Amino acid sequence: MSNFLQPTILLLKDGTDTAQGKQHLIGNINACSFVVDTIRTTLGPRGMDKLINTGRYSTVSNDGATILDLLDIVHPAARTLVDIAKSQDAEVGDGTTTVVILAYELLKQAKKYIEDDVHPKIIIKSYRQAAQLCLKRIDEIAVKIDTTDKDKSLEMLEKCAGTALNSKLIASYKEFFSKIVVKAVTNLDQELLDLDLIGIKKVSGGAMQDSLFIDGVAFKKTFSYAGFEQQPKKFIKPKIALLNVELELKSEKTGAEVRIEDPQEYQSIIDAEWDIIYKKLDTIVKAGANVVLSRLAIGDLATQYFADRDVFCAGRVPEEDLNRLSKATGKQIQSTVSKLTHEMLGECDLMEEKQMGKERYNILSGFPHKSTSTIILRGGAEQFLNEMERSLHDSIMIVKRAIKNNTIVAGGGAIEMELSRYLIEHAKKIFGKEQILIEAFAKALEITPKQLAENAGFDAMAILNKLRKEHADPNPDKMWIGVDIDNEDVCDTFKTFVWEPSLIKRNAINAATEAACLILSVDQTVKNPNSSEEQNKQIQQQKQMLRPTRGARF
């Protein structure tokens, strides 16, 4: 038989980069390690912060999702860790660093078995089985809080809020801020718990403890004209008009044309414009409004008109603040004033303008519907205020989840050690490769207490050995033993009030397992940068063809 040369078959375009096989999978795991090494030191009460400079802005943060997003990671596998951090932040609000570290530790444990030619699908199956066992165990041991007792319920929420703030820049004032956070969340409609109704404003200057909780709505003084200073700045029981109406004289658009026979008619056109604006202003005042707030501009004529009649006005009020006012007053924002009546006006107990640092704030409080509140943060640098806002957001999310899901577990690595012990006990009853893989999952869970101890400067191995010894004791009182950050030892973290909603741990284990399984299931990556470049070039050519040339006639 004659031998024929096999023809070369090109399936992919020139320049396409492909990677596959065991080494590719290990490379993906190694890429994730560089991401995790960046944020692992931020975990826990003694975690460090990261300063990220993006050229124009600098950000100081220890929030995992924020750091990973600012790093702008492009590696496809490593991007998975960014996505799970964002999902944890959106769903629960806290535990973003924990979920990323746990996901990588699961990959790290799987790496040695992949090198020994264990099929990734067996690892994935075992990991998912272990995750389900963990979720079942959390449900069994989680402590339910009696929500019928209001005092105990508030105490539980404050402890959960304080635990979320333990690792933040404002940890030294966690008792002060946890009370503010709980007040803000409990003020909301308990069925909806819409966090958009909690306003957070930042005012530079002052100390952290100068921060304020306002049972109502506050917004920074808007742009104003000269007549504004003649208006009253304090009202008791004011009537509030919420508008989406422009109250100023507007010149006609360029190119408008009006044909008149008699020059005297020109004055009637000018008078008509003034009549329109005055009619609007008269209607507002006759309706009985003391405070006029509009999303659109209020001009100098209207400002002076209101000042002469002791009415306060503010134009270009931020939309989110106007919506919160609508919710608090129970009145709709009006898009016309032609039929404005007294019944359409909202009311509150007090409206006043206060000086805060170099800013002036309009504060409205004492609404009939307690459904919104505002937190005004004080502090030094802008980066510090931004981190305070991120910290409070995490704490607010935790309190919301604690209200929705009133079961808690102890933090400080206690729940992870208990789950690790439980999985090891379960693995002894299983035959085959699943046994060692479930044990690998159990070992990965130990990363949380280990990292907490390392970040606090403790001997991590000594602390971990103590925790293993305590959790090996069948006594149920030893179930909540975790890392004692204050005394470089172990302690019952449930008794020291290091509490977290069980939902955090459930979501973290679920998300970390899914991320690890996703990366383990990928055995080939195809990258073709030329395809995207050519696609962009075609789009630009199409736009160029559709754009008319200068001087063209149609």
- Domains of the chain, start order: 17-144+414-454+501-525 (1.10.560.10), 150-214+389-405 (3.30.260.10), 216-253+269-369 (3.50.7.10)
DSSP collapsed to 3 states, 127-196 = HHHHHHHHHHHHHHHCEECCCCCHHHHHHHHHHHHHHHHCCCCCHHHHHHHHHHHHHHHHCCCCCCCCHH
Catalytic residue among 59, 63, 66, 98: 63
Catalytic residue among 96, 98, 222, 513: 96
pLDDT the model gives residue 477? 82
Q: Which residues contact 226 (CB under 8 A, 6 or more apart)?
A: 300, 303, 304
149 is catalytic: no
Rounded CA-CA distance 108/519 in Å is 12
Kindly report, residue by residue over 159-210, the tens digit of the pLDDT: 899 988 888 888 888 899 999 999 999 888 877 788 888 999 999 888 888 8
Q: 399 in the Ramachandran plot: left (φ > 0), alpha (ψ -120 to 50) or beta?
A: alpha
Structure tokens at 371: 């459904």
Burial of residue 178 (number of CB atoms within 10 Å: 0-12, 13-18, 19+): buried
Kindly report, residue by residue over 80-114, the tens digit of the pLDDT: 888 898 888 888 888 889 999 999 999 999 999 99
96 is catalytic: yes
17 is catalytic: no
* Number of neighbouring beta carbons within 10 Å of residue 542: 10
Rounded CA-CA distance 257/405 in Å is 65
Q: Of the given ranges (85-89, 264-268, 271-275, 490-494), which has the lowest mean pLDDT?
A: 264-268
Type of residue numbered 509:
I
Average pLDDT of the segment spanning 197-226:
90
pTM greater than the 0.85 cutoff = no
151 is catalytic: no
pLDDT the model gives residue 553? 37
Catalytic residue among 80, 97, 98, 163: 97
The residue that leads in pLDDT, 69 or 257, is 69
Catalytic residue among 89, 94, 321, 394: 394
pLDDT the model gives residue 528? 65
Percent of the residues in the chain that have a pLDDT greater than 90, as a whole number = 45
Residue 376 banded pLDDT, cuts 50, 70, 90: very high
The residue that leads in pLDDT, 1 or 125, is 125
Using the predicted structure, report yes or no on whether residue 117 has a pLDDT greater than 70. yes
Rounded CA-CA distance 199/373 in Å is 6
